[in-house]
Amino acid sequence: MSLNISYDDNNVFARIIRGELPKVAVFEDEHTLAFMDAFPQSEGHTLVISKLAKAVNITDLDPDEMCRIMRTVQTVSQAIVKALNPDGFRIVQFNGEAAGQTVFHTHFHIIPVWEGQSLGRHGEGMADTKDLEKIAERIRNAL
């Protein structure tokens, strides 16, 4: 069930997985990839995707692949907390255009939150790659 959207092998995340587009990686294993969001809502905003599943949204995922992704979400969340010391964090996942999904490859957002700091609007203001790399290095060191 893809909410009437078929998987596009040329979506931005598929192209990142194939190495056609750059990324600032935080964590990678044979099944998953975690990388910095280029349009972060907060410092440390990280995305987690499946490298193997051609899934548009969560309803398309095999349960075993879902478990692999969630294991990576948990691992990276723990590293973000250790590295950046946020007051909290959000795990966000959108399914379908009506729900706010803009890249039709199943993905999870890990968004650190600090008291008194508003989150930026997603998709506004591309981050500087050098800044993302510094933050990613801190997170990688906390893994």
Separation CA 139–CA 135 (nearest Å): 6
How distant, in Å, are the alpha carbons of 3, 107, 143 from that of 73?
Answer: 24, 10, 12
Q: Is 107 an annotated catalytic residue?
A: yes
Q: Which of 45, 105, 107, 109 is catalytic?
A: 107
- Euclidean distance between CA atoms 67 and 137, whole angstroms: 26
Instruction: Tell me the Cα Rg of the chain.
Output: 14
Burial track 35-46 (b if 16+ CB lie within 10 A, e otherwise): bbbbebbbbbbb
Task: Point out the residues that are catalytic.
Answer: 107
